[in-house]
Structure formats: C-alpha cells, structure tokens
Amino acid sequence: MILLIMNDPPYGTERSYNGLRLANALAKSGQEVTVFLMADAVACAKLGQKTPEGFYNLEKMLGRLIAARSKVLLCGTCMDARGLEATQLLTGAERSTMDALAEATIAADKVLVF
C-alpha cells in the first residue's frame, strides 16, 4: 500500500494537485493507494468546487480515486478547525483520526508527503 499525506490547500499552490496526479497514476497502475488529507488539504474533498473551464478540479480528482477503490481519509481535527462538516464531503471520503494515520503509516510500503 502507498500512503500519500497531503497538507496544502486545493488551490493557490499545486502541491495537492500534483500529489493527486501521482495518486491517480498509482491507482491506475493497480497500486493500493490511501490518501490522508490534513491541514488545509481537507478542503480538497469539499463538495461543490467550481473551477474555471479547463482548470483542474481536486474534487473530481479525488472522485476518480474513490471510484478506483482508493481510501480518502481526512483529519477530523483539521476539519473541525476549518468548520468542515462530514455532510460537506465528497461521497466516499471519510473523517478520520491521527490514530488511523499512524496505522496507515505502519501498514504502508511507501509514504509520500505533499
């Protein structure tokens, strides 16, 4: 399993975008992928993102990962700090904990941080 930990916001920097590009490529190649969103990256899983035509949309990128049976987990404390409710999340994205991140880190063959 490959664990990607994302920290940056969905827009304004391309770190989360590039991390999700890699996550999608890994999932497409048959790898088991888990994405853990923390800090400002929790906003990547917010429903209803409206981006300009031709601009990347991280909600859609995460949706492709979920469709490929990858796990998308969000730090609950980071969600609370940003006023993000579970009802505002992309279907399939899950509120999670640091204990779950610790377990995923131990279970992972590789851990990548963006």
Provide the CATH number for the domain around residue 42.
3.40.1260.10
**Long-range contacts of residues 80-89, Cβ cutoff 8 Å, at least 24 apart:** 82/40, 82/42, 82/43, 84/42, 84/43, 84/46, 88/46, 88/47, 89/45, 89/46, 89/47
Percent of the chain whose predicted confidence (pLDDT) is above 90: 96
What is the span of the domain harbouring residue 57?
A: 2-113
Q: What is the pTM of this model?
A: 0.95
Number of domains in the chain: 1
pLDDT digits (tens, 9 = 90+) for 3-54: 999 999 999 999 999 999 999 999 999 999 999 999 999 999 999 999 988 8
